Copies of this chain bind each other. A is one copy, B any other.
Amino acid sequence: MANIYEQMNAAQLDFEIAHLEREVEKIRDKHLALDMARGKPSPEQTDLSRPMLDLINSGSDLEAAGGTAANYGFPDGLPAARALAADLLGVDPANVIVSGSASLHIMFDLVNHGFVKGVAGHEPFYKQGPVKWLCPAPGYDRHFRVTEYLGFENIPVPMGPDGPDMDAVEELVRDPAVKGIWCVPKYANPTGVVYSDEVVRRFAALEPAAPDFRIYWDNAYLVHGFEDEDDPLLDIFSALADAGKTDLVYEFASTSKITFPGSGMSWVAASPADIAEVRSALAVEQVGPEKFTQLAHVLFLHDAAGVHAHMRKHAAIVKPRFDLVADKLEAGLGGLGVATWSHPHGGYFVSFDGPEGSAKKIVATMADLGVKMTGAGATWPGGVDPRDTNIRIAPTYPSLEDLGAALDVFVTVVKLVSARLAREAA
């Protein structure tokens, strides 16, 4: 669809810009303080888990999760917590290690382990020379920051509607300096994309030149669909088995957006050989994970079915917010040809693309008007969006009323920035 502003002449654009600037001044006078920046659950959502806080008290059986929560021990996690984690991923609990509340920490530990000690008996990365890492983009900024911190070259890989560009991935892994790839296979951050079966199978069949290459399969949103129908994701370990492969994937998940982000459990699953290596790496740095949290989660959620039932309650809160985003963007920008945006069925974000060169300007103007958004470029390695188009909208935390107000501002700002860009080019 053609950009409506690019079809206007200079006079028309000046008229339109003047009109939009007056709108912006009216917004400025409201002195807003709104926030669409953070992919975090709303208080309404975290309150869903308050009943969990009644399940452990001074009289509780502290061994109810298969081992005592009250003392040292169980570095792999309490048995029932491992069983819950494994049930959610459909893997053997023996191949799961449950750790603290953030799976990002386990991911850091494993990338770091590769850097300082090496993977599967191979030389540490720091002795091998420059390391490269594949970053489907737009993607999760905190993933990219881990590999950037360790001095690796983060290589962006284009994201399509069914996952990363696998032709590009297959080509890039022929370079033995490429040691890993960040993936969010379901309701990806920020695009909302669910990897197709074909993409999952191509990942499982990958032939990396580096024997110490691993796929970091961050299944952060595995139960976070908010439509009636869930979007199935092919199980990566089954796909690996079908491809006759092993020792290629670390899968991660956590309860961060299931219960309380500030107090939960996270876990990693891998092949028997890989999980043994993960265990030995964590044994040096960890004394053991937070075990009362694990016990509480087991008592509250029980199993995968319990998690799914709990997530329906989240969906009921989250879906109206995503619907509001879709409605407001369609009403305000539909048919103008200036922007596209995702229509996710799950996860925490809407991915928005404006005209080339618009994203930084839009986000800066929004901030100026009192509406905080994720920094433009944050979804790209190094914070550099090559076309400066992508903006991540995080609709879950604000109230519906605040979200609606913020989106009204957003629509006006997108139009103004788009019109100005067209005027500059005219």
Residues of A participating in the B interface, judged by any CB pair closer than 8 Å: 38, 40-41, 43, 46, 50-54, 56-60, 68-74, 100-102, 104-105, 108-109, 112, 115-117, 126, 142, 145-146, 149-151, 256, 260-263, 284-288, 290-293
Contacts and interface: CB of A to CB of B under 8 A. Distances in A.
Given A46-B70, A57-B54, A261 B285 contact: no
Contact of A69 (B54, B115, B263): B263
B284 A108 contact: yes
Given A109-B285, A256-B287, 19 more contacts: A38-B72, A53-B292, A54-B57, A54-B58, A69-B262, A101-B287, A102-B286, A108-B285, A116-B116, A116-B149, A116-B150, A126-B126, A145-B284, A146-B284, A261-B288, A262-B288, A262-B290, A262-B291, A262-B292
Contacts of A149: 116-117, 284
27 contacts: A40-B72, A43-B70, A50-B58, A50-B59, A52-B58, A53-B57, A53-B58, A69-B263, A70-B260, A70-B262, A71-B260, A72-B262, A100-B100, A101-B287, A101-B288, A108-B284, A109-B285, A112-B116, A116-B116, A116-B150, A116-B151, A126-B126, A142-B287, A256-B287, A263-B293, A290-B290, A290-B293
Contacts of A41: 71
A356 to B, nearest CB: 31
A218 to B, nearest CB: 13
A42 to B, nearest CB: 9
Contact of A290 (B74, B100, B126, B142): B100
A260 B146 contact: no
Nearest to A102: B287
Contacts of A290: 100-101, 262-263, 290, 293
A74 B288 CA distance: 22
A100 B264 CA distance: 12
Contacts of A115: 116
A68 to B, nearest CB: 7
Contacts of A43: 70-71
Nearest to A78: B262
Contacts of A256: 287
